[in-house]
Structure 1
Amino acid sequence: MTLEEKTSLLPKNGWVKFSLKRQLVTSSVIFWIVAVSVVSLAFLGFGQSYMLQETSQRNTQIASIIGRDLNAQVAEILADARNFTRHLELLNPDLSGQVGAAVSLRLSAPQRYRSIYFYDSQGVLRFYINDSVDNLFRLTSAEILARPAVPVNDSVLDAYRSSRTQGTFLSEVAFSPIENIPVMHLGLPLNPALGTVVLEIDLQGIWGGIQQITFGQTGFVYLVSRSGEIIAHREPAMIGRPLPEEISVLIAGNEGFVEYTEAESGQVVLSAFSPVGGLTGWGVIVQQSEADAHAPIDRMAATIVALWVAMGVIGTAAIFRAVSNLTSPIVKLTEATNSIAATGKLARISASDRTDELGQLSRSFDRMIERLQATEGKLEHAAAEERNRLARDLHDAVSQTLFSTCIIAEVLPKLWAKNPEEGRRRLDEIQRLTRGALAEMRTLLFELRPQVLADADMSYLLRQLVESFNTRQPTPVDLQVSEECQMTPEVKVAFYRVAQEALNNIAKHAQANHIIIQMRCEGGSAVLSVGDDGLGFDRSATRPESLGLGIMRDRARDIGADLEVKSEIGRGTVVNLKWRLPAGEEIHGGD
Structure 2
Amino acid sequence: MLLALCWLVFVVVALNDLFSVLDRWQVARNWAALSGLLVIALVMLLLGGQLARQMRSAERFNHQLAEHVADARAELAQALAREHAQALENAKLQERMHIAHDLHDGLGGSLVRSMALVEQSREALPSERVLSLLKVLRDDLRQVIDHGSSAGAVVPATPVQWAAPLRHRFTRILDEMGVASEWCIAPQWRSAPSALQCLGLTRLVEEALSNVIKHSQAQHLRVEVRPSPGLLAVRIEDDGVGFDVDAVRGAGLSVGMRSMTARAERIGGALQVESGPGRTVVGVELLLKE
TM over 0.5: yes
Are residues 1:380 and 2:96 paired? yes
**Structure 1 residue aligned with 2:28:** 222
Work out the CA distance in 1 between the residues paired with 2:163 and 2:270. 19
SS of the residue 1:504 aligns to: helix
Q: Any residues of structure 2 matched to 1:24-103 within 5 Å, and which?
A: 61=14, 64-70=17-23
Residue 465 (str. 1) matches residue 163 (str. 2): no
Bigger RCO of structures 1 and 2 (CA < 8 A, at least 6 apart) = 2
Task: Report the Cα offset of residue 464 of structure 1.
Answer: 0.9
In the TM superposition, residue 455 of structure 1 has moved relative to its aligned partner by: 2.2
In 2, Cα distance between equivalents of 1:452 and 1:511 = 39
| Maintained 8 Å contact 2:183/2:222 | yes
Q: CA deviation at 1:580?
A: 6.3
Q: Deviations over 1:70-122 (max 9, x none)?
A: 2xx6xxxxxxxxxxxxxxxxxxxxxxxxxxxxxxxxxxxxxxxxxxxxxxxxx
Output the amino acid matched with 1:482. A
Q: Deviations over 1:421-469 (max 9, x none)?
A: xxxxxxxx89xx76x8777666555443333667234322221112222
- 1:326 deviates by 5.2
Gap regions ≥5 residues in structure 2: 118-124
Q: Structure 1 residues 562, 63: closer, same or farther in 2, change over 3 A?
A: same
Tell me the number of residue pairs that the alignment of Structure 1 and Structure 2 aligns.
Answer: 265
1:504, distance to aligned residue in structure 2 (A): 0.9
Query: Counterpart of 1:250?
Result: none
Correspondence for 2:155: 455
Aligned mates of 2:94, 2:229 — CA distance in 1: 39
Q: Does 1:563 align with 2:272?
A: yes
The change in CA–CA distance for 1:580 and 1:373 in structure 2 (over 3 A counts) is closer
Q: Does 1:554 align with 2:254?
A: no
Contact 1:481-1:520 within 8 A present in 2 as well? yes
Q: 1:293 to 1:445 in 2, by over 3 A?
A: same
Deviations 1:350-377 (A, max 9, x none): xxxxxxxxxxxxxxxxxxx6xx857744
SS at the partner of 1:561? Answer: strand
2:49 paired with 1:303:
yes
- For residues 513 and 297 of structure 1, the distance between their equivalents in structure 2, rounded to whole angstroms, comes to 109
Give me the TM-score of the superposition, normalised by structure 2.
0.64
Q: SS at 2:187's partner residue?
A: coil
Distance of aligned partners of 1:504 and 1:330 in 2 relative to their CA distance in 1, 3 Å threshold? same
In the TM superposition, residue 530 of structure 1 has moved relative to its aligned partner by: 1.6
2:224 maps to a residue whose letter is Q
1:159-184 C-alpha deviation (Å, 9 max, x unpaired): xxxxxxxxxxxxxxxxxxxxxxxxxx
Using the aligned pairs only, state the percent identity: 13
TM-score by length of 1: 0.36
Flag the 1:302–1:518 CA change in 2: closer, same or farther, 3 A.
closer
Q: 1:313: how far off? A: 4.0
How far, CA to CA, are the matches of 1:537 and 1:562 in structure 2?
17
Residue 336 (structure 1) aligns with: 82
CA RMSD of aligned residues (A): 4.7
SS where residue 480 of structure 1 aligns? strand
SS at match of 2:28: strand
CA contact (8 A) 2:185 2:224 kept: yes
From 488, 491, 496, the counterpart of 2:202:
496
Distance, in Å, in 1 between the alignment partners of 2:216 and 2:192 is 30
Distance 1:466-1:387 versus aligned 2 partners, 3 A rule? same
For the Cα contact (< 8 Å) 1:506–1:532, is it kept in 2? Answer: yes
Residue 541 of structure 1 deviates from its aligned partner by: 8.5
Structure label with greater radius of gyration: 1
1:574 to partner: Cα distance: 3.0
* CA drift at 1:64: 3.3
Change (3 A) 1:442 1:479: farther
2:160 pairs with 1:480: no
Change (3 A) 1:376 1:329: same
| Higher helix proportion | 2
SS at match of 2:49: helix
